[in-house]
C-alpha cells in the first residue's frame, strides 16, 4: 500500500477546492433567487402562459401593454410552466 502524506500543498489544494465549491453554490443560489425579483419589484404584469416570447405579444397587448416589451419567464410561484411578463417599468 502507498500512504499519502498530507502536505501544505495538498491542504491548500483542498481548501481552494472547498472555497471554489462554496462560491459556485452561492452563485447558483443567487441565480435561482433572481427569478423572483421580477415579481417582487412589480416590473411585470404577469398574464397567461407561454412557450416563447412571441406568445406574449398578443396577451400583453390585450391587457393594455406594449406588445414588444414582453418576456416569457419561469413561473415565479414555482409552477412548471412559463408565464408572460408584460414589462411595465
pTM: 0.53
The three grid cell numbers given for residue 9, joined into one nine-digit string:
500543498
The three grid cell numbers given for residue 42, joined into one nine-digit string:
412589480
Among 57, 84, 60, 63, which residue's Cα sits nearest to residue 73? Answer: 84
pLDDT digits (tens, 9 = 90+) for 39-63: 455 788 999 999 999 999 999 999 9
Domain locations in the chain as residue ranges: 37-87
pLDDT digits (tens, 9 = 90+) for 23-38: 766 666 665 554 444 4
Extended beta strands in 13-69, E state: 44-50
Amino acid at each position: 500500500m502507498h500512504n499519502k502524506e498530507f502536505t501544505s500543498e495538498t491542504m491548500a489544494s483542498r481548501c481552494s477546492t472547498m472555497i471554489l465549491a462554496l462560491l459556485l453554490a452561492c452563485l447558483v443560489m443567487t441565480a435561482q433567487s433572481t427569478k423572483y425579483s421580477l415579481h417582487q419589484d412589480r416590473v411585470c404584469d404577469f398574464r397567461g402562459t407561454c412557450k416563447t416570447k412571441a406568445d406574449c405579444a398578443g396577451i400583453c397587448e390585450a391587457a393594455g401593454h406594449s406588445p414588444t416589451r414582453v418576456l416569457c419567464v419561469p413561473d415565479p410561484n414555482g409552477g412548471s410552466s412559463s408565464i408572460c411578463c408584460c414589462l411595465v417599468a
